[in-house]
Structure 1
Amino acid sequence: MALLRNRPSTGRLTPRGDEPHVAARRSCTRNISARAYIEEKASPGGPFAKPPSVVHKNQLDALKSMSVVVADTGELDLVKKYHPQDCTTNPSLVYKALSMAENRHYLEKALAQDKRSPEHMKPGVLRPYSGVADQLSVDLGCELLKVVPGRVSTEVDANLSYSMQATVDKALRLIELYAAHSIDPSRIYIKLASTWEGIEACRRLERQGINCNMTLLFSFAQAAACADAGATLISPFVGRIMDWYKAKEGRDFAPHEDPGVLSVRRIYNYYKAHHYKTIVMAASFRNVGEIRELAGCDKITISPNLLDELEKNTEPLERKLSPERASTDVLKLSHMHEDLFNKLHGADQMAVEKLKQGIELFAADQKRLEDLLASIAMGKVRENH
């Protein structure tokens, strides 16, 4: 589809510590004689000497030299094991972590902090434990921030994905809960589903200095709209895209032709070629081959089992993505509006289906967490009687 170039957007500054690995180019002018030039060039330690090649212990170590590695888990022991820069969570990971027996005390603490009790709940309240679930997500985030030097992503309730104002309100509430623990907002990414309403919520939150991680991202239209809205970071999903095409075409894909890999590569090149500051964090991997094909992406969030596989592999790892080699044949999509977004995103059947499915799955795990809280609270009431 031919797209007209609009007036370029201004972009946004990347917070300190989140810059992609871009090689700096510095020019140096010196008045030196021809003899000195030859001597310095010949000298092993002179300024013209080639930098020594770095030998990495394994592919995880090598990947960390190209991309910021992020742990895709809420389990503290696993985060401590792999030493990632950041950590991401979502309703499914939060539920998995907090439903473990050794973490039950987090649930009981959150319930104890909550001023409401079952007998005081107002009639007609459909989700009386949604606020407690928010507190739990923040409590888990605070624990993870003790381990990682960078940031933690905390997701807004997926049930609010189609309401811009409700999403903004919930995001502000999460930041307030972190502030109560003396956590600076600069260490938090607020995760939002990349619906049109979520993208508009991101635009408003970013203007208030709240950095957003746009998740459940499957289409190029979503990526273009997120960058135009000034999102700090996007999380394009690799494995879920591959799942859809695998089911549709009935075949496996080699890593270099993986539809999810190709999608992230296209987004990365578009961002870099048009000088967007939005960080690309590839997510949702099914195998290490997908990760290797995206080595050099700004950030990569990886599950513990794949981190372990990379750590055990000592073969060299080639860099596949870099800003210097980025190019795109897509004109800059500035000032994205809802009609254009719906037209472009709606034309991608895979993205429409996977976005809807992803929101439903996250909402279901949010409900499971709230049901778990309710069962514990009811048990406590019975114990007291």
Structure 2
Amino acid sequence: MTEVSTLTQLDQLKEFTTVVADTGDFQSIKEFEPRDATTNPTLILKAAGKDEYASIVDAAIKEADDSSKPKAKRVDAIIDELLVRFGIEILNIVPGRVSTEVDARLSFDTEGSIAKAREIIALYEKKGVSRDRILIKIASTWEGINAAAELEKEGIHCNLTLLFSMAQAVHCAESKVTLISPFVGRIMDWYKAKEGKTYEAPEDPGVLSVQAIYNYYKKFGYKTEVMGASFRNAGEILELAGCDLLTISPNLLEELKNGSGKVERKLSPEIAQEQDIEKIAMDENTFRWMFNEDAMATEKTAEGIRNFAKDIVKLEELIESKLS
């Protein structure tokens, strides 16, 4: 008779993958006990608009507002303060790290991204939070990855987001960034719309992309961690069991918490070593050509940057309304 595991699927997953909460909602983070948490402009905007977090918004305004400055600079300073305050609240719950995102409108500005990351880290450190507990999220453009490479040299650890291709992944690894967040569900969305078909988890294009990146990293001994992100269903998550980290939304964490089926490890450094993989020599020309040839990656990266930028503008409008 086969022994049935009494562990939930979430518990089993945590045995060989670090589970990260993809939310800015503190109650959800407390409930699922992840090690880390990630935020982005969309999640912060959603949280900031809730009554239960109004006190954090008000405190950020009180702390950072300087009426002697132009309104745009006032709002920018308040948003930085707000991001850090949300981050600190999350760090009071999780034992690990929180990811805080640089303004998406700086995605093609290496120096601007570096400057903003330094400002965010300085705010955290001023409040007594070590930079080792912070991951600065930057979009995986050529310029963004180059910014991360410089920041890593200063001990500012980075999470490269909006990553959809091997070109982006290889440049991140060569740049010695701490962590990447390849997006699973958004890749599947693109192929589903393009090809007019649905995918079972084992053949999901997003799943296959992350598996390929993970195997490449482990095959060639890169230290950059792989954190699968942007999931549409629990099946995608279970096909990536064994990935370094997986950042999961509260609704899918709930589904895994209620699931009792056996979770099998699908990824490991040992399995990666058995793969026949060719090493890619990466430079700017190679990156731009590989990226250009990948219609899904170019379209989804651009779309993601636009949408995060829109939500930053909405967050600015929310702050401006409170100032006036």
Same-fold status (TM-score > 0.5) = yes
Q: How far apart are 1:127 and its partner, in Å?
A: 6.1
Aligned amino acid, residue 61 of structure 1: D
In the alignment, residue 79 of structure 1 is paired with which amino acid?
A: I
In structure 2, the partner of 1:204 is 150
Matched, 1:358 2:308: no
Note if contact 2:35-2:96 (Cα within 8 Å) is conserved in structure 1: yes
The residue number in structure 2 matching 1:103 is 53
**What residue identity is the alignment partner of 1:58?**
T
Aligned to 2:239: 293
- Unaligned 5+ runs, structure 1: 1-52, 379-385
Please say if 1:313 is aligned against 2:259: yes
Q: Which runs of 5 or more structure 2 residues have no equivalent in the other structure?
A: none
Inter-CA distance 266–56: structure 2 relative to 1 (3 Å threshold): farther
Q: Deviations over 1:225-278 (max 9, x none)?
A: 000000110000000000000000111111011000000000000000001111
In the alignment, structure 1 residue 74 sits paired with structure 2 residue 24: yes
> How far apart are residue 130 of structure 1 and its match?
1.8
Corresponding letter in the other structure for 1:80:
K
CA distance in 2, matches of 1:157, 1:328: 38
State how many pairs are aligned.
321
What is the CA–CA distance in structure 1 between the aligned matches of 2:279 and 2:87, rounded to whole Å?
36
Cα offset for 1:128?
4.3
The 8 Å contact of residues 65 and 75 in structure 2, kept in 1 or not, is answered as: no
Residue number in structure 1 paired with 2:8: 58
Q: Paired residue for 1:333, among 280, 283, 288?
A: 280
Structure 1 position 154, deviation (Å): 0.5
The separation in 2 between residues aligned to 1:347 and 1:172, in whole angstroms, is 34
> Is the Cα–Cα contact under 8 Å of residues 266 and 328 in structure 1 kept in the other structure?
no
How many angstroms does 1:121 deviate by? 4.1
Q: Does 1:113 align with 2:86?
A: no
1:166-185 to structure 2, matched below 5 A, reads 166-185=112-131
> What is the letter of the counterpart of residue 88 of structure 2?
C
**Moved >3 Å (runs of 4+):** 53-56, 125-128, 327-330
- Asked if structure 2 preserves the Cα contact closer than 8 Å seen for 1:56 and 1:62, the reply is no
Q: Secondary structure at the match of 1:223?
A: helix
Q: Which amino acid aligns with 1:341?
A: F
- The answer to which structure has the higher helix fraction is 2
Partner residue, 1:276: 222
Q: Which amino acid aligns with 2:115?
A: D
Give the deviation of 1:367 after TM superposition.
0.8
CA contact (8 A) 2:65 2:74 kept: no
1:16 alignment partner in structure 2: none
What CA distance in whole angstroms lies between the structure 2 residues aligned with 1:310 and 1:191?
26
What secondary structure is seen at the aligned counterpart in 1 of 2:227?
strand
TM-score of the superposed pair, with normalisation by structure 2? 0.96
